């Protein structure tokens, strides 16, 4: 999607942020206190009894995604090979795919992404080009002159992971909620009888699912969290007695209720999983084992009474300042096999049209090489897999792979042509967030689009 620069001045931008109240963590908390009102209003029109799930696969460390999705058309490939030098992949190794709507039609996938190529060619996967964290549309000239438009801590791992997961890149630190949690709080009424939280993490606590009025259920490839003390009858009786006590101190009472709720959820979860084993074989890898568990949890959606679920899975190892080619060989082999098996499992369960997996990462990496690998950059490429994905196409604007191009802010660090806000809006809209509620999830969204008239701004979801 092409961004039209709005030439937002420092005074006008600060005024907009002050009026919208997006400049502080406290305002995000206030926004989310509106969730009961928004949820009640949405309950009139939102469907019940259906099922949808989002699966966020976070490639932590900064995926060098211009080797994941590279030009294969000869002129564009020559630019790529010249720019990337020793970290360029041979054209004959790239797996061919094609797309309309880009400056050229011939693309190539990393040679280890064979299942992803098949899903793409079958219309079940798509790519989004040059997406990254942004506060508002901007040009390279504005990047050099208007500090208020630059995400805080740009090129920093921790800051950009924070911004991808909160979608509020003018903040740095603190405890604002993640956009996954904000979606869950708005749509909590759709899981009225749900036995666990809508948000399920296979990677422990995370920003994406951190909420003001919600919690995250943590699982592992082995299943439910292990509560060893609760297995002993004597200790179980003691814990139940403590949890049943009525405490005068509100903090003590609240803590007891949370522990009791956590124990109950864990027992229910473990019971539901017993009847949800699948025949699909997953690779024995970190990503494979975690996606296998996510598939099993989806298969148990009936006993768990879940109509909506949001999963989070982190796979690290992408910070390749050296040996980027060998590192990606290993990681893409793992990701491709695991995502392929996950798709097979969704087909086995019969929910392939109701589940969408999407990737996120800190940032892409420099087009230029440091002599051994690549360094921290900005806009990059991502993929989405699911039956509801309008697949077989590269969305957004694939940039020229050239140093000093119109979108290069230095060393081949690319100014994103699509903001994370638009990426998230597309997914949230498909998931069931009403257009009128999208700004509760994505406070900067109106800097890019009118969410009421254009709630699906990219078009990759049906």
Q: What is the total count of domains within the chain?
A: 1
| pLDDT of 77 over the 50 cut | yes
Residue 136 structural domain: 52-226+281-447
Query: Can you give the pLDDT at residue 246?
Result: 64
How many angstroms separate the CA atoms of 299 and 282, rounded? 15
Query: Can you give the pLDDT at residue 42?
Result: 38
Number of continuous H segments (helices) and E segments (strands) in the chain: 15, 12
Band (pLDDT 50/70/90 cuts) for residue 66 is: very high
SS3 of 172-214 = CCCCCCCHHHHHHHHCHHHHCCCCCCCEEECCCCCCCCCCCCC
How many angstroms separate the CA atoms of 329 and 110, rounded? 8
Counting residues of the chain whose pLDDT is more than 90, the rounded percentage is 76
How many angstroms separate the CA atoms of 198 and 55, rounded? 12
Query: Can you give the pLDDT at residue 257?
Result: 53
Region of 343 please: left (phi>0), alpha (psi -120 to 50) or beta: alpha
Strand-pair category, 380-385 with 355-361: antiparallel
Number of Cβ within a 10 Å radius of residue 347: 14
Q: Which two tokens stand for residue 170?
A: 């003018």
How many angstroms separate the CA atoms of 80 and 85, rounded? 8
Query: Can you give the pLDDT at residue 172?
Result: 77
Q: In what order do the strands lie in the sheet with 69-71?
A: 69-71, 106-109, 95-98
How many angstroms separate the CA atoms of 316 and 12, rounded? 39
What tens digit of pLDDT does each residue of 188-210 get? 999 999 999 999 999 999 999 99
| pLDDT of 434 over the 70 cut | yes
- Classify residue 255: in a domain, yes or no: no
| pLDDT of 13 over the 70 cut | no
| pLDDT of 218 over the 70 cut | yes
How many angstroms separate the CA atoms of 230 and 250, rounded? 25
Query: Can you give the pLDDT at residue 157?
Result: 97
Dihedral over Cα of 320, 156, 286, 94: its sign = negative
- Classify residue 213: in a domain, yes or no: yes
From the list 305, 272, 299, 43, the residue with the least C-alpha distance to 193 is 305
- CATH number of the domain at 166, please: 3.40.720
Name residues whose C-beta falls within 8 Å of residue 173's C-beta, 6 or more positions apart in sequence: 162
Query: Can you give the pLDDT at residue 268?
Result: 84
- Classify residue 406: in a domain, yes or no: yes
Location of structure tokens 């001045």: 9
Tell me the pTM: 0.86
Which secondary-structure segment (H or E) carries 265? helix 250-274
Dihedral over Cα of 427, 124, 89, 407: its sign = negative
From the list 427, 413, 377, the residue with the least C-alpha distance to 156 is 377
Band (pLDDT 50/70/90 cuts) for residue 75 is: very high
Q: Which residue has the higher pLDDT, 417 or 224?
A: 417
Q: Which residue has the higher pLDDT, 74 or 253?
A: 74
- Classify residue 321: in a domain, yes or no: yes
- Classify residue 45: in a domain, yes or no: no
From the list 11, 38, 13, the residue with the least C-alpha distance to 432 is 38
- Classify residue 160: in a domain, yes or no: yes
What tens digit of pLDDT does each residue of 255-305 get? 555 554 656 677 788 889 988 889 999 999 999 999 999 999 999 999 999
How many angstroms separate the CA atoms of 276 and 310, rounded? 18
DSSP notation for 383-426: EEESTTB--S-EEE-PPP--TT-TTBSSTTPBPPSEEHHHHHHH
Beta strands per DSSP E along 173-306: 199-201, 216-218
Q: Which residue has the higher pLDDT, 101 or 15?
A: 101
Q: Average pLDDT for residues 381-386, to the nearest whole number? A: 99
- Classify residue 74: in a domain, yes or no: yes
Mean pLDDT of the chain: 86
Beta strands per DSSP E along 148-303: 199-201, 216-218
Dihedral over Cα of 131, 132, 138, 143: its sign = negative
- Classify residue 269: in a domain, yes or no: no
* Contact criterion met (CB below 8 Å) for 318 and 331: yes
Query: Can you give the pLDDT at residue 259?
Result: 52
Q: Average pLDDT for residues 124-149, to the nearest whole number? A: 97
């Amino acid at each position: 999607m092409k961004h039209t620069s709005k030439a937002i001045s420092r005074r006008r931008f600060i005024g907009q942020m002050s009026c919208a109240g997006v400049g502080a963590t406290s305002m995000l908390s206030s926004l989310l206190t509106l969730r009961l009102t928004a949820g009640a209003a949405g309950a009139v029109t939102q469907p019940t009894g259906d099922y949808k799930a989002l699966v966020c696969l976070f490639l932590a460390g900064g995926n060098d995604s211009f080797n994941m999705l590279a030009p294969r058309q000869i002129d564009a490939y020559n630019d790529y090979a010249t720019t990337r030098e020793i970290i360029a992949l041979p054209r004959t190794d790239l797996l061919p795919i094609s797309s309309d709507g880009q400056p050229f039609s011939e693309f190539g996938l990393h040679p280890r992404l064979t299942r992803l190529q098949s899903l793409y060619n079958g219309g079940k996967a798509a790519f989004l080009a040059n997406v990254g964290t942004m506060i508002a549309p901007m040009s390279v000239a504005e990047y050099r002159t208007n500090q208020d438009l630059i995400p805080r801590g740009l090129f920093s791992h921790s800051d950009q992971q924070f911004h991808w997961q909160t979608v509020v890149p003018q903040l740095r630190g603190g405890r604002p909620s993640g956009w996954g949690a904000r979606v869950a709080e708005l749509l909590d009424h759709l899981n009225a009888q749900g036995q666990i939280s809508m948000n399920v993490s296979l990677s422990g606590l995370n920003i994406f699912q951190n909420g003001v009025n919600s919690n995250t259920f943590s699982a592992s490839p082995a299943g439910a969290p292990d509560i060893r003390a609760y297995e002993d009858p004597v200790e179980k009786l003691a814990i139940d007695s403590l949890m049943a006590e009525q405490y005068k101190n509100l903090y003590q009472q609240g803590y007891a209720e949370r522990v009791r709720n956590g124990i109950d959820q864990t027992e229910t979860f473990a019971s539901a999983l017993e009847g949800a084993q699948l025949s699909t074989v997953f690779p024995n890898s970190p990503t494979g084992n975690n996606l296998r568990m996510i598939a099993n949890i989806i298969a148990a959606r009936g006993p768990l009474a879940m109509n909506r679920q949001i999963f989070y899975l982190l796979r690290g190892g992408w910070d390749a300042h050296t040996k980027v080619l060998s590192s990606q060989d290993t990681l893409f082999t793992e990701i491709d096999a695991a995502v392929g098996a996950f798709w097979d499992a969704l087909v086995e369960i019969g929910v392939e049209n109701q589940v969408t997996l999407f990737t996120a990462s800190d940032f892409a990496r420099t087009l230029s090489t440091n002599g051994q690998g690549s360094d921290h950059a900005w806009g990059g490429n991502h993929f989405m897999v699911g039956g509801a994905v309008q697949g077989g196409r590269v969305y957004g604007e694939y940039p020229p792979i050239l140093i000093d191009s119109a979108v290069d802010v230095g060393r081949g660090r690319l100014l994103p042509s699509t903001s994370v806000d638009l990426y998230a809006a597309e997914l949230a809209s498909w998931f069931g967030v009403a257009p009128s509620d999208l700004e509760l999830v994505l406070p900067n969204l109106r800097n890019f689009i009118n969410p009421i008239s254009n709630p699906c701004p990219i078009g990759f979801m049906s």
